[in-house]
Structure 1
Amino acid sequence: MARYNMVLMGKTGVGKSTLGNYLFGNNEFKTGVGKPVTSNGFHALEFDLQGLPVTVFDSWGIEANKADQWLRELNKELEKRSTKSDPMNWFHSVFYCVQASGHRIEDFEIKIMDKFIKENYKVTVIFTKSDNVNDDELDDLKKALSNEFGNKVDCIEVCSEEKTRRDGSVSKAFGKKELVDNIFANFWNSISLRLPQRCINIMQNEVEKFHKKQLNIIKKEAGYFNGSGLSSQIKNESKDFFDNITKGFLVVDEVNKTLKMYNLFGNKINTLSVNNYNNPFLDNITFESRNWWWYFPTNLISLAIWGREDTEKKLSKNIETICNEMNSNIGKMLPNIKKMIAGLKPG
């Protein structure tokens, strides 16, 4: 079953675990005072959030003197969830907790957020314990983030628990609705930002399969007297293959598959004020060849090849050159794919 993946991070002692318990209404997250309560790595916890199956990847508390070790753990986790993997495996929300009363964001925290942004994730910074600071102090923290990342980072103010202060005043918990709304919005962001590169990766993976297939044919059939015939065969098959790739069927299939997952999650969250997400966005989409076509380098295959060893070596080199050219031209599709996917946002 598809699950909504959320990652929860923050320095030791910022109230990350208290936030998790506040959001999901239980005590699954261990809490402590000023010391790490989660062991090294990212730990999966499964919840139900208003009908939505959620897996929270709770990370161990970040400490300045262990930032390099923490970043190594993060790199391993991000590698498992790269755009080469299925979107069901990605993080769909990235929450980074900053204690508002700390009044600053450390350089290594900026580095962590930047890693996610470079992976085309939308990061949401949660200012925990926001009841302890005034608006000007919160504005200063938001301004610092804006100076670093522009609009690539969202900010949410949260107080995760009700408590009575020493002066007798009561601090009410707040921010849960904003968090839940953000969870849904970030799912669209996570797929719309990362899906274009995913489509490129899928097409280039098909080129790699084609490359290996042609090398096997060359190795098996290259001979003294069939160099020209084999060269013509490879040239024709390469042109047909690239022509099919540039028509965009693989892109349409991948986007449709991912949008079905989006619709599945959208339908499970029935408490949010959202529109109908059952629209068949790409049922009738077609790509016009002229918008996706680049000149195919058929001239790269020479017909003047003699001798078995020479035939195999030259044809292998030529098919490698052609596949490299295909991958380069596929890479040029990225702006068009981004534009198409950006225009699909439901609402």
Structure 2
Amino acid sequence: MSTFPTNILILGKTGAGKSTLVNYLYGQEIAVARAGRPVTAKGLHRHEPFPYRNMSIVVWDSWGLEADKAREWWDSLQEELVRQSGRPDVRDWIHTVIYCFDAKKSRLEEYEQEHILKPLIAMGYRLIFALTKWGLCSSQEKNAALEVLGSAYPGFSCIPVESVSQKLRSGRATEQLGRNDIFREICLNLRSNLMYHLRIRTRTEMKEAIARAETNTIRVFDRETGFFTIFGDELRTKLEDTARQNYLREIRSVYADLRDSLTLIDRMCVEVIRGYTGIDVSEKLQGLHRLMDDIGDTRIQAWSSGFEEYAATIITTVISLGLFAFIRNDTYRDGFVKRLREVSVRLTEDLESFAASLDQAESGVEEEIAKKLNALR
């Protein structure tokens, strides 16, 4: 079995068909929305992992969404999602969100849009809309359901689903529908959701790392200086070395975490897609690693293994003030802090350039994977 679980969050209004959808997709009698171990005080639940093909599937569900509890419902869900995405291991994050939409009713309530769907999208989750009870719908109802979702959420996947094969009173029989299409979208969404949240986390952590390096360097300045300090070349050299070491240590740590997380996401992506579809996409994932390896040849080399030379150039250039002996401590400190802020700004600008390059490369990777998966249709 794969060492990587696929964490699936199933949402929807009461009676939208969450339980039957899971049973149809995985052939498992998971009592969605009625059992499971509660993770928050309110009703977000994690069910025990179960094997499917060569994977481990973890289904999360919530108490049924209803109008009079929509705000309470969202507060509970949001708290858990924030907690999940803050975990250091991407295997613990929510990988895919499936929203069950009753196609026969063909309407979106204002409360489910304002309190659930729009906030989820704002958090970076690319939803899969499962149009449940499709086999029970008339042609008019089907068209209306597609129009409602297509108008409100263009660009999001809307998958017609019939989870149960049954004979109706009219004599017509419904046929199960949508499993392979849902699986294909899970494969695409897993990578898209993980990469989005990884980029957000990396930006935040890198900015925090730069701020820590600046603060720690100033702290050393305050500890090493006093009324009788001689502000000359010896002190300047010591401060340059301190700044270089602080910035280098902090940024390297975040950069190493990024590489490790990216490698893990790539492995998850390959194994999950192989598990659901049998397709091998490993050759499609080389571009990002080449970008990471070759980044020392660009303006954003601050985040490469050649950071020492880069940092030395920036810090020496910016911090060196043409200092003289016996300058007042407060004057020197103000100038030193100003120069450190300039270093932080320069590094933050390069971080954004680096992130933009990764975003562009990732778009190409996801496009190539989508082409390969769409060929299955």
The whole-number CA distance in structure 2 between the counterparts of 1:113 and 1:316 is: 45
Matched, 1:292 2:300: yes
Structure 2 residue identity aligned to 1:99: D
Cα 1:327–1:25 shift into 2, 3 Å: same
The letter of the residue matching 1:43 is H
| Contact 1:9 1:16 (8 Å CA) reproduced | yes
Instruction: Report how far residue 212 of structure 1 moved.
Output: 4.1
Gaps of 5+ in 1: 33-37
Contact kept, 8 Å, 1:127 with 1:155, in 2: the verdict is yes
SS at match of 2:187: helix
Deviations 1:217-268 (A, max 9, x none): 223323342545445544466568479969x96454542343133234344x
Letter in 2 for 1:88: R
- Aligned partner of 1:157 in structure 2 is 160
Equivalent position of 1:330 in the other structure: 351
Task: State yes or no: 1:255 paired with 2:265.
Answer: no
1:40-59 paired onto structure 2 within 5 Å: 40-45=42-47, 46-59=49-62
After superposition, what is the alpha-carbon deviation per residue over 1:264-284, rounded to whole angstroms, capped at 9, x for unaligned?
4344x0x51523426662554
Give the TM-score, by structure 1 length. 0.81
Counterpart residue number, 2:279: 274
Kindly report which structure 2 residues correspond to 1:87-106, keeping only aligned pairs within 5 A, or say none: 87-106=90-109
Match of 2:363 in 1: 342
CA shift at 1:25, angstroms?
1.6
Amino acid at match of 2:129: V
- Distance change (3 Å), C-alpha of 1:150 and 1:30: closer
From 118, 123, 127, the counterpart of 2:131: 127
Q: Percent of counterpart pairs with the same letter?
A: 21
- From 189, 193, 200, the equivalent of 1:190 is 193
Separation in structure 1 between the aligned mates of residue 7 and residue 157 of structure 2, nearest angstrom: 18
CA-CA distance at 1:126 after TM superposition: 0.7
Q: Say whether the 8 Å CA contact 2:300–2:350 is kept in structure 1.
A: no
1:5 paired residue number: 7
The separation in 2 between residues aligned to 1:189 and 1:264, in whole angstroms, is 15
Q: Structure 1 pair 288/217, CA: closer, same or farther in 2 (3 Å)?
A: same
1:6, 1:286 → 2: CA distance? 35
3-state DSSP of counterpart to 2:294: coil
Helix, strand or coil at the partner of 2:277: coil
Residue number among 97, 107, 112 corresponding to 1:109 in the alignment: 112
Residue 295 of structure 2: SS of its match in structure 1? coil
Q: Distance in 2 between matches of 1:301 and 1:98?
A: 63
CA distance in 1, matches of 2:146, 2:238: 61
The alpha carbon displacement at 1:308 in A equals 5.1
Question: How many aligned residue pairs are there?
Answer: 338
CA spacing shift, 1:283–1:27, aligned 2, 3 Å: closer
On the 8 A contact 1:197/1:334 being kept in 2, the answer is no
Label 1:312 to 1:88 Cα distance change in 2 as closer, same or farther (>3 A): farther
Q: Decide which structure has greater helix share.
A: 2
User: Contact conserved, 1:101 with 1:130, CA < 8 A, in 2?
Assistant: yes
Tell me how far apart the structure 2 counterparts of residues 205 and 183 of structure 1 sit (CA, whole Å): 33
Given the superposition, is the C-alpha separation of residues 306 and 81 from structure 1 closer, same or farther in structure 2, using an over 3 Å criterion?
farther
Residue 28 of structure 2: which of 23, 26, 29 is its match? 26
CA deviation string 1:68-106 (max 9, x = no partner): 111111221221133774422322111001111111011
Q: 1:222 to 1:52 in 2, by over 3 A?
A: same
| Secondary structure of 1:43's aligned partner | strand
* Structure 2 partner of 1:170: 173
Is contact 2:214-2:243 (8 Å) kept? no
Q: 2-side partners of 1:19 and 1:39: how far apart?
A: 25
Instruction: Give the stretch that moved more between structures: 207-216 or 18-27.
Output: 207-216
C-alpha separation in 2, matches of 1:279 and 1:290 = 23
